[in-house]
Amino acid sequence: MKYLEPHMLEFPQNGDERGHLVVVEGEQDIPFDIKRIFYIYGSDETVVRGQHANCKTQFVLINVAGRCKVKVCDGKGNEAVFLLNKPHTGIYLPSMVWKEMYDFSHDSVLLCLASEHYDPGEYIREYDEYLRIVNEGDK
Ligand code: TYD
């Protein structure tokens, strides 16, 4: 599988006097076939979500309303913070990155597109375990 870095995506806004319509198609606008969709709302600025890595699943996260921040790190010292605050932008997250979503606005609706069906067994929820796995190949 080709490894892609986390990066922002921008989708075309099909806007006219009636408003906007944003289309995201799997394997076109989204760099994988979409197998699962979930969305997160009712969080606020006190909440931190995520705090896990996925062995297999890639995600695209889109704040279709409101805003949040996404902190991504690779367990090797590289870290970046992305702001999601536009319904026509998203962040691509490859597998095996540690991610945290935080600083949610009260009106935040965070749409999450996933490349795999849900499998709790592919989630790494302990940061120490994540560090061990990503760094064990470097020994
Ligand atoms: P969790 O992974 O803790 O959410 P977040 O990544 O935002 O911190 O998931 C919250 C709950 O929802 C947990 O009980 C697992 C469940 N869940 C599913 O059943 N299916 C899914 O696809 C996801 C993402 C979560």
Whose CA is closest to atom 23 on ligand 1?
118
Q: What is the pLDDT of residue 2?
A: 45
pTM listed for this prediction? 0.95
**Residue 36 CB–ligand 1 contact under 6 Å:** yes
How far does the centroid of ligand 1 lie from the alpha carbon of residue 123, in Å? 10
CA nearest to 46, candidates 98, 104, 100: 104
How far does the centroid of ligand 1 lie from the alpha carbon of residue 132, in Å? 23
Residue 138 confidence class, pLDDT cut points 50, 70, 90 = confident
d(CA 35, CA 18): 31
Q: What is the pLDDT of residue 1?
A: 40
Q: What is the pLDDT of residue 111?
A: 98
Burial 86-112 (b: 16+ CB within 10 A, else e): bbbbbbbbbbbbbbbbbbbeeebbbbb
Q: Which atom of ligand 1 is nearest to the CA of 117?
A: 22
Residue 4 confidence class, pLDDT cut points 50, 70, 90 = confident
For 19-64, the pLDDT digits (tens) are: 999 999 999 999 999 999 999 999 999 999 999 999 999 999 999 9
Both structure tokens of 108: 């935040």
Q: What is the pLDDT of residue 42?
A: 98
CA nearest to 77, candidates 131, 123, 126: 131
Query: Is pLDDT of 122 > 70?
Result: yes
The beta strands (E) that lie in 1-67 are given as 7-10, 36-41, 48-54, 59-65
How far does the centroid of ligand 1 lie from the alpha carbon of residue 117, in Å? 12
**Ligand 1 pocket mutation, candidates 34, 44, 49, criterion most atoms within 8 A of CB:** 49
Residue 139 confidence class, pLDDT cut points 50, 70, 90 = low
Residues noted as catalytic: 52
For 70-109, the pLDDT digits (tens) are: 999 999 999 999 999 999 999 999 999 999 999 999 999 9
d(CA 89, CA 44): 20
Q: Which segments of the chain does DSSP mark as H helices, in order?
A: 127-135
